[in-house]
Amino acid sequence: MNFRKELINHSLMTETIDQHQEGKRDVTFRVFRFNPQVDSKPYFDDYTISAERGITVLRSLNYIKEHVDATLSFRAFCQAGICGSCGMRVNGISKLACTSQVWDELDKCREPGIIKVEPLRSLPMIKDLIVDMDPLVDKMKRYSNWINSTMPLAEMGKKEFLVSEEEFHRYDKATDCILCASCVSECSILRANKEYVSPAVLLKSYRMNVDSRDSIHDVRLAELVKDHGVWDCTHCYRCQESCVKSIPIMEAIHAIREDALECRGPKDTSGAKHAEAFMEDIEKKGKLVEATLPIRTNGMVWTLRNLLPMAMKMIVKRRTPPPPPLVKSAKGIKIFRAMFREMTEHVKQDHQKSHKK
């Protein structure tokens, strides 16, 4: 059932005579609907209301639910950008409905005057705009995202367990995460592979791993470097761009990788080997030697078993990357190499410094 509801003469705040004089605009919310108990497939409902400047998307949805269609379902609680319950996609971008201004969204509409509201992606749908957060919670458990205190049980509750100010600054930003799952919804890897750890879980893992009061750093790290873990991230930066708290999630992911390379060694997993082969090529040639990258990352047996059919197709279509001897060094390679080594040295020193803290 797909129907259109018009409420041209309703106002969110007060009755009005001249809408534009009073700073009001008619806005249509095109809302995703799906009730698995009665609908065979999803559809969109249009709700047109008069919205004042300063009204948020959540407040508009509340109005629609209270005055137009009580069957509309969505999740919200604090209405202040604190609890993370109201994550949804507004005009195609995952964000908090309670901090999204309707008038700002009007500038981003694909169709003038129509704000599209959909549930978050990459999480199972429950009803309308409500998604199931259990898979995310299960991943938090799988990656042991809690502090397992190093304080002996007998001393707990008797004294404070303090950390230095410098240490706190290392995870201060990460503690701002409100688990709204906007990053989960925007992550390009999760859309292809639901098993992937997810940016929200990686951020939490980073926060726990850098806390000196925690005793299970190694257990957590061992899980993070397994299949579908930290090495699967492809640096698309969508998680960071969509974070409602502007948390540098990619920095946390890089830090976990550096930690893994340092603590477990570069030969630990295919992800680590891939990173090492990548760096080796860039230092030597200033570009990738793609033909041998899979072999150096996953070994000959894996490559033959998994990539041979694709390699044959590429040979037929004459699209194979050149063999190593034919990969010429990039222009200005000597200067580039010197810069690369200097940069690597800086990163090493920075890392040593932060490790001492």
Residues that bind ligand FES (CB under 6 A): 76-79, 81-86, 96, 98
> Coil, strand or helix: which one is 241?
helix
Short-list 281, 304, 285, 303, CA closest to 294: 303
Smaller CB distance to ligand FES: residue 85 or 240? 85
Alpha carbon distance 276, 348 (integer Å): 15
Alpha-carbon distance of 105 to 90, in angstroms, equals 8
Q: How far is the CB of 98 from ligand FES (least distance, A)?
A: 3
Tokens read off for 310: 């694709």
Cβ neighbors of 339 (< 8 A, separation 6 or more) are none
CB-based contact 174:206 (threshold 8 Å): yes
Q: How far is the CB of 114 from ligand FES (least distance, A)?
A: 22
CA angle (156, 159, 162) in 5-degree steps = 100
Query: CB neighbours of 279 closer than 8 A, spacing ≥ 6?
Result: none
* Tokens 């809302």 found at: 31
Q: Which is nearer to ligand FES, 96 or 200 (CB)?
A: 96
Q: What's the min distance (Å) between Cβ of 93 and ligand FES?
A: 15
CA distance 245 to 172: 12
- Shortest CB 242 distance to ligand FES, Å: 15
Complex with ligand FES: residue 84 or 294, whichever CB lies closer: 84
Q: And the tokens for 245?
A: 């708290």
- As measured in angstroms, the least distance from the Cβ of 180 to ligand FES is 6
- Choose between 76 and 289: whose C-beta lies nearer to ligand FES: 76
Closer residue to ligand FES in complex, CB, 25/245: 245
Cβ proximity to ligand FES, 48 vs 182, nearer residue: 182
